[in-house]
C-alpha cells in the first residue's frame, strides 16, 4: 500500500513570505496529523484532524498557521507570514482509526528553511 505522501520535500523562503505544504494520507485513514520538528527536538503536534474535523489544534500558532482537510482526505498546512523560527521539518502522519492507540504512519516530511 502507498505510504503518506508529502510535497514539496524542500522549501526555502524569505521571512514574511507565505508557504504551503500538502499531505496525502494513506487511503482510508480517518485521522491526519501535522507535526513540526525543529532541529534537535522531537516532533511537536500542530494539528490533528479526524476526517475533516479538527480534534486538537491547541499548539497551532493560529495567527500565522492554518490547516485544512477538505473532504477528509488531503490536507494543506499554510504559514503566512513566515518567521525565522518556523525553520523546521513539517511531518504529516495518518492513522486508520480514531483511537489514540492506533499506529501513526509518517510521511518523509517537508524541510522548510526561512532566511
Residues that bind other proteins (CB under 8 A): 3-4, 35, 40-45, 55-56, 58, 91, 93, 100-101, 103-109
In the bound complex, what is the minimum distance in angstroms from residue 108's beta carbon to other proteins? 5
CA 95 – CA 107 distance, rounded (Å): 12
In the bound complex, what is the minimum distance in angstroms from residue 63's beta carbon to other proteins? 21
Nearest C-alpha neighbor of 111 from the set 93, 96, 91: 91
Question: For residues 6 and 110, is the Cβ–Cβ distance under 8 A?
Answer: yes
In the bound complex, what is the minimum distance in angstroms from residue 3's beta carbon to other proteins? 8
Amino acid at each position: 500500500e502507498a505510504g503518506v505522501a508529502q510535497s514539496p520535500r524542500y522549501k526555502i523562503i524569505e521571512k514574511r513570505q507565505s508557504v504551503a505544504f500538502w499531505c496525502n494520507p494513506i487511503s482510508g485513514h480517518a485521522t491526519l496529523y501535522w507535526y513540526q520538528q525543529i532541529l534537535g527536538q522531537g516532533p511537536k503536534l500542530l494539528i490533528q484532524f479526524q476526517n475533516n474535523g479538527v480534534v486538537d489544534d491547541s499548539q497551532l500558532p493560529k495567527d500565522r498557521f492554518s490547516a485544512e482537510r477538505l473532504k477528509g482526505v488531503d490536507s494543506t498546512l499554510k504559514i503566512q507570514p513566515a518567521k525565522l523560527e518556523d525553520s523546521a521539518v513539517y511531518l504529516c502522519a495518518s492513522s486508520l482509526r480514531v483511537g489514540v492507540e492506533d499506529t501513526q504512519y509518517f510521511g518523509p516530511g517537508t524541510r522548510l528553511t526561512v532566511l
